[in-house]
Structure formats: structure tokens, C-alpha cells
Chain A
Amino acid sequence: MKKLLSLTGISTALMISKSALAEYGLNMTQGVTSTSQDIYDLHMLIFWVCVVIGVVVFGAIFYSIISFRKSQGAKAAHFHESTTVELIWTGIPILILIAMAIPASKVLIDIETLDKADMTVKITGHQWKWQYEYPEQGIGYISNLAQSSKDAINSDKKPENYLLEVDNPLVLPVDTKIRFLITSSDVIHNWWVPELAVKQDANPGFINDSWTEIDKEGVYRGQCAELCGKDHGFMPIVVEAVSKDAFAAWVAGQKAGAEAAAASATKTWSEDELMASGENIYNTNCSGCHQKDGSGIPGVFPAMSGSSITNGPAAEHLDIVINGKGGMPAFKMLGDSDLASVITYERRAFGNSGSVVQPSDVTSAR
């Protein structure tokens, strides 16, 4: 009843106030790749074919409704069969379909053919974030929903790209043939960026491929397009297409950052340092299921507080976080310092009294 009341409140409020909303789209994007343009053209072709057929069929129905009314004195004819007519309206649709199938096949074969890629990006879907790896450049990272969007879920003030902003976007060079290798570590996800017209299932245990060649620099946003559990709606994709030079500079910066992170894993951290860094990592990676206060969701996601894992021996805790277990995904893609921080946080926060875990413990546990 309370929900119903708030609902009527919301609806009346919305009916009265004309809220400032971003521009809305009516049609498919033309995108920024030749593939997306081809698909858009095909879409419009089929659309207009359907419109023409619709005008003919609906026109005939409307004509009947208007002209053959009993109230207008229409007398019913008695014809009820004509093989010729049946053949005509079987044959003409077949011809139309063939005319549609030819361009459709051409576009499909174009999309599915990639002779040689200039570079490769491996995309791994996790519940509920994306992992990007550049095997040739030797870099990789995780891309989560931006904190600004998470904070805005229950607030009236939504940021401009609400739910379409991430902490680490996928950076790609323009005018480069890029091969995507797409897979998943848990359930099926789908990596979709409409403006690139790349949409491919990420299947656990299998690798799918797809490709793109971006014509225009810019920021392109997409979302996971396969139901993947609780936060399916909260794992967006942001692609930053930059010039080749800017891409090279970005790669160099990433490499330097990775080296710094590796160096930090060899030193011994204080508990305060671990807890501070761990809280951020926990809120980004873990709180979606185990909740910000560590209470979990009974029957689906176990609680952190008072658990025998978080209060028990560190080895078991390390094993579950690194390798996953059942519905719990593996987090081995996080760095040693990050894993040590988050595990320490889980063991010391929420009223727990487990031991502190150092990055070196993670290194030896891997």
C-alpha cells in the first residue's frame, strides 16, 4: 500500500512537472563504422519494405471497413476461393524476400569476414564488470560502473551519462582493424556498443570473435546485452576512440602504471593502508552481492560479517577470492596489492577478526 501511494505520488509529480530529460532517440544509430552504416542501411531498407506492404494491406483493410459496411447498405459477395490469387500472394512475397535476402547476405558475410587484424583486444565479462586485455601491448585492467552513477541511483540528480559511465574506459585507436576476443568467467554476457555495431555473446569457456574499425574519434557507450544476473543493468561499456599517436602515449602510461603496481606488491603494507585501499576495492567489486555493510543476501550471496571464511584461516579465504567457488567469480585478474587489501578489509571490517593479509601472501597463494 505504501508502495502504491508513493507510486501514485511519483506519477502525479511526473505528470505535472516536465522534467529536463536528455534527448531521446527514435531510430537505430548510424554509428561510426562501415559495419554500423551497412546495418543501418539494411535496417532502413527492410523498414521501408515493411511500410510499403503495410500501406497496401492496411489500406485494403481500411477500404473494406469504410466501403463494405452493412450500415452503408453493402451486400456481401459470395466468392471464397481463387487459386490464382493464392499463387500471386504466395509468389510476390517470395520475390520480395529474395530481394531482401541478397543485401542481407552480403552485409552478413562482410561482417563475419576479417582477413587480418592490426591489433587484438581480449574482452572478458565478469558479474558485473568488463575486463580488457591487450595481449600485444601487455596491459590489461577492469572496467566498472563509475562511482558517480552508483551514487546517483537513489538520488534525483543524475549525472549526464547516468549508468553509461565507467572508471576505466576501453581505449582504442581509430582507423585500425581491431579484433575482439570475447569470453566470460562466469555466466553469459554480451558486449555491445551500438555505434560500432559490435554485439557478441561472451560465453564462459569459449571464445567468440568480432572486429571493428572505427572511423571517428569520440566516446562511444554501450551496455551488457545478455541477462547476467542481479547487476546486468549496471555494467556499461565505454569506448574511447583516439588517434593512433594518443593511443601509443596511453599504452606507455598504462605500462608505467602497471610497473608501479607490481613494485608496490613487494613491500609490506600497514593494516591502515590495506584497509583504506581495501574499502574502495570492496565497494567496487564486492558490495554488489555481499552488500556495502557485508550483510549479503540470505540464500543467494553469503554475508561477510561473522562468516567462518572471513574469520577463519587466510588460506581458504585467499583461495575463494582468487579462484572463485560456485556462484562466486574468480578475482585473479586483480593485482596482488589489491587482493591483499580487499581480503584484509573483508577480514577486519564488519566486526570480523580475521588475520591481516599481505600482497606477498597473495603472490604465494596464486
Chain B
Amino acid sequence: MNNTAAHDDHHGPEKGLLRWVKTTNHKDIGTLYLWFAFAMLIVGGALAMGIRAELLHPGLQLMDPHFFNQLTTMHGLIMVFGAIMPAMVGLGNWLIPMMVGAPDMALPRLNNWSFWILPFAALILVSTFFMEGGAPAFGWTFYAPLSTAFAPDSTDFFIFAVHLLGFSSIMGAINIIATVLNMRAPEMRLMDMPLFVWTWLITSFLLIGAMPVLAGVVTMMLTDRNFGTAFFDATGGGDPVMFQHIFWFFGHPEVYIMILPAFGIISHILPTFARKPLFGYSSMVYATASIAFLSYIVWAHHMFLTGMPVAGELYFMYATMLIAVPTGVKVFNWVATMWKGSLTFEAPMLWALSFVFLFTIGGFSGLMLGIAPADIQYHDTYFVVAHFHYVLVTGSLWAIIAATLYWLPKWVGKMYNEKLAKIHFWWAMISVNVLFFPQHFLGLAGMPRRIPDYSLQFADFNWISSIGAFAFGLSFILFAYIVVDCIRNGAPTSERPWYSAKGLEWTLSSPAAYHSFNTPPSRAEILEESQHS
């Protein structure tokens, strides 16, 4: 059925480029977010190619160490704040109003502003490469005092950019909470909401809790650098370790901000292609909420070697291990969803399945890292690099790609090229493992992270890893082609291209009209499309 009324025509999109500047429409803004994220993915990916090219073999071939540090720092910042987070917000913008039976987001002008801050923040951040002294070169975790007394002048621009990114995220989160709580179809109860909406709602609360802490810590940096304070300087009575406490109090929720919406996405795709309802809907909701709560009380497991007292180490180790429980519940529920299903393997399903595999591998290494005494040997090695790339690349990014392919037919009303999408999947799946799996070995053998050159026993695996990286980087050209080809030449598709898909978004026409639901869906429709029926 089509819930968009005919009067929609006279307030459709504006003509011309200004449409994208002035738009307050959740679909337009979602599209902007997604293209922006893709552009940043390419920029951040190009920096990663530079890193892996330098590490291809021992010695310094392409750059000096100072520039290498700029690359690792900017790669991390751009991927976290420029690619993964905006992509998730973009998906939220596109999907949440359609999933809760709303016409648009609750705060459309705020929505426009929270997007349009981003390109400027990104420009400021990237422009630091061209400043005297170069871009920030202290790692994406920007530990003081390397980022305060010992940092290049461009650091103040970095601080400003982080503030802007924080504004954008907080406004986006407020908008999502307001939309979910106020714009939801009156007949939809909270426990009727699809999991993508649930995970984004919980993520929004993480954002509102964590981003101001980040703003606080960069402001303290700013005053330490320019106004004579000594928050992180022991000679003035401060403490550099306090920086890490504040940073990770933001930083740990941040990693769940990047992965919880991914959990939601996977919980939509697996049931569709298993032709079976999601197993344990309510336990999925509770598990997500538990993970979010725990994410606030485990931050110092990033800091086992800072000189923490043993009681502190024990507490943070136990609390960290506890996260494995709700995360395990999620994985088990996904497996049970597939169990006795009727599985087909279209591209979104392939991405979702490999998410479950590879994210679980990242989960295992995460559990290992959480064991405080073992962390003495793992800390700040390539084992950590392998771990967080398994959860962020083959976790968050995998889910974003899966979601793009899964909902693209709904967004543009056309089907992507399945054959190309499968080639792309296998290409990326193989190359990403060639890229990141050997890094486990490198880390265990003792290679520290963030070094531009290494001793000879690390040469073989670094070479393999770099070759994997180049192949993986190239795969995104194919991905861009698949998406553009779908938008331009895709075969028209029905309103429910994935036969067994459930959810209110599939009741809308394909492509979905400019405003989603002008009349809220009925209780019967909501129940028919809910994930727990």
C-alpha cells in the first residue's frame, strides 16, 4: 500500500543544486550523509594506502616519520568521525522515519544544520595537512602531552573541527530521540519497534552522554595549549593520565556508537534471507541496552599500563569481560535466527553473514585484550590494530555496506547488479582478511603499532598485509560503480524486493515518496510488519 497522499506533489524537492543546501527532508539529508561518508571513506582509505605503502617493506621509502604519524592520525579521525559515524546517521535519517511510520524527522531544520556542519569540519581537519608543521601527528587518541605542549600549531584547528563534529553528532542524536519518541506511529509501542530503531535510540543516548565529554577534553587541551592552564601537565599540578581517563570515558562508548546500529542492521537482514523471524527480539533489545550501559563503566581497560592500582585493574578487567555476555547473546540469537530457516545468499546476506563471522573474531581478540595481565603483551601492538579493524571494518563498515545494498532498492526503486555485488563481496571479503589477519601475528610477535619502519622479522607479514590493503582499497571503486549503476541503470523493483522482508518501510512504494507516512499506519499493519511476530 502507498501511504503517501497525492497532495505531496506540490511540496516535493526543490529544483537544482540549492535543493541539497536548503533541504529539510530526511531522505535528502540521509543521502547527503551517505555520500559525504563515502567521500570521507575514500579520503581516509587513501591515507591508509599511504600507510600500508610505507610499511610494504622495511626502511623508509616514501615519507618521513613525522608525515607517517600525520597519516595514521588523520586516517583514524577521518574514518571514525567522517566515515563510520556519518554513514550510520545517514542510514538512521533514511530509515528511522520510514520504520516508525513518521512523515519525516522531528526536527528537520536541525537535521539540515547537523549535516551541513560536517563538510566544513572535515575541510578544517583535512586543511591541517597544508599548514606549517603539518597535520596532527599524535594518533587519533591524541594523548597529552604529545597533543598539547609537543604538538604542531594546526592542533588548534583540529580542536575546532572536533567541536564542530561533536555539535553535529549531538544534534543528530537529539533529533533521532525526538523522532523515535514523538513521531512514532501512535499505535506503535516501544517493543514493536524494529531493532535498527532500537539500536539507534540507544546509540543516541550514548552520543549525548559521550560527545560532551570529548568536547570537554579538547577544550582542556585548548586552554593547556593557549591559556596557561595545566590540566595535563604535572609541572603545573595536572596529570597526563587524567587526559586518558577523560578521553576513554568518551572513547569507549564511542566504539559502541559505531557498532550498535550495525547490530540493528544485521538483525534486519538475517531474518529476511533466512525467511524466519528474528530469534529473541526482546533479548536483543535488552542485550543492546546492557552493552550500552556497560560501555560507560569499562573505559580504563584501554589504560592497564598507565600505572593503575591492582584493584582498579581487577575491576576494569571483570567489567570488560562482562560485555562478552550480552554480545554473545546477540551472536547466539543471530545463529538461532538462521537455524532451521530457508536461506538464500543475495549480496546483503553475504555481507551480513560475514559480519557475524568476522565481528565474532574481533570479539574474541577483544576478550583476550580485556584480560589485564595478557594485555601487558598485547597493548599497543598490531594485535590491537587487528582487533579494532575486525570490529570496525568487518563490523561497522560491513553492516553499512550490507544496509546500503539491502535498502538501496527501496531508496531508488531500482535493483543493483547482483552478479557484480557478489564479485565485490568476495573480493572485499578475501582481501580484508589478507589485510588484517596477519596483523594478529605481527602483534603477538611484538610489533608495536604506529611505527613507520620495523625490524626484519616483521617484514613478511607486513608485505602480505600491504598487498591485502591495496586489493581491499581497490574494491571500493567497484562498490561505487555498483551503487551508481543501480541508481542510473538498475531494473525497476517492486515495493518489497526482498520477498520475506518485514518492516513498515517495505509497505511504501519504491522509490519511497518524498514524505514517508502522511497518515500513520494502523495497529494491524504495525503488528503484521513487526520483528517479533
Contact = CB atoms under 8 A, between A and B. Distances in A.
B277 to A, nearest CB: 4
A6 B61 contact: yes
20 contacts: A24-B460, A29-B446, A42-B373, A42-B374, A57-B360, A68-B341, A76-B274, A79-B279, A80-B281, A81-B281, A81-B282, A93-B325, A97-B325, A152-B59, A160-B456, A229-B146, A231-B65, A233-B454, A297-B133, A299-B132
B446 A222 contact: yes
Nearest to B334: A61
Interface string A48-75: 0010011001101100110011110011
- Interchain residue pairs A-B with the least CB separation, the first 5: A205-B234, A299-B133, A25-B445, A233-B451, A299-B132
Nearest to A42: B374
B329 interface: yes
Contacts of B445: 24-29
A227 B139 contact: yes
Interface in B138-177: 138-139, 143, 145-146, 149-150, 152-153
B233 interface: yes
A300 B338 contact: no
B189 interface: no
B340 A77 contact: yes
Nearest to A159: B456
Contact of B353 (A6, A61, A105, A194): A61
A229 B136 CA distance: 11
Given A6-B61, A65-B343, A187-B145, A46 B454 contact: no
B12 interface: no
B59 A199 contact: no
A192 interface: yes
A336 to B, nearest CB: 25
Max chain B C-beta neighbours (<10 A), residue from A155, A156, A230, A326: A230
A43 B241 CA distance: 27
Interface in B475-515: none
A90 B307 CA distance: 33
Interface string A85-127: 1100110011001001100110111011100000000000001
B62 interface: yes
Contact of B307 (A22, A109, A208, A222): A208
A110 B445 CA distance: 24
B463 interface: yes
Please tell me the size bucket of the interface on A. Answer: 35 or more
B332 A206 contact: no
Interface residues of B, number: 107
A274 interface: no
A188 B143 contact: yes
Given A68-B341, A187-B150, A89 B329 contact: yes
Contacts of B318: 101
Given A97-B321, A205-B240, A39 B377 contact: yes
A186 B446 contact: no
A273 interface: no
A340 to B, nearest CB: 27
Nearest to A15: B467
A161 B444 CA distance: 18
B448 interface: yes
Interface stretch (B22-30, B90-98, B364-372, B516-524): B364-372
Interface in A163-207: 163-164, 186-188, 190, 192, 194, 197-201, 203-206
Interface in A271-303: 297-300
Contacts of A186: 145, 150
A153 B368 contact: no
B458 A24 contact: yes
B12 to A, nearest CB: 39
A50 B279 CA distance: 24
B289 interface: no
Interface stretch (B102-110, B309-317, B420-428): B309-317
B118 interface: no
A263 interface: no
B329 A10 contact: no
A19 B441 CA distance: 20
A61 B342 contact: no
Find the residue from B58, B149, B343 having the highest chain A CB count within 10 A.
Answer: B343
Interface in A116-160: 127, 152-156, 158, 160
B231 to A, nearest CB: 13
B222 interface: no
Contacts of B455: 22, 161-164
Contact of A100 (B61, B371, B461): B371
B183 interface: no
Interface centre among B65, B235, B329 (most CB of A within 10 A): B65
B335 to A, nearest CB: 5
B131 interface: yes
A69 B374 CA distance: 41
Nearest to B317: A104
Contacts of B336: 85
Contact of B532 (A26, A58, A80, A198): A80
A61 B335 contact: yes
Given A187-B145, A204-B145, A50 B364 contact: yes
Given A7-B53, A94-B325, A80 B277 contact: yes
B379 interface: yes
B437 to A, nearest CB: 12
A299 B134 contact: yes
A158 B454 CA distance: 11
A4 to B, nearest CB: 9
B334 to A, nearest CB: 9
B343 A74 contact: yes
Contacts of B314: 105, 108-109
B305 interface: yes
Nearest to B271: A80
Given A39-B377, A89-B328, A64 B339 contact: yes
B304 to A, nearest CB: 9
A10 B283 contact: no
B516 to A, nearest CB: 27
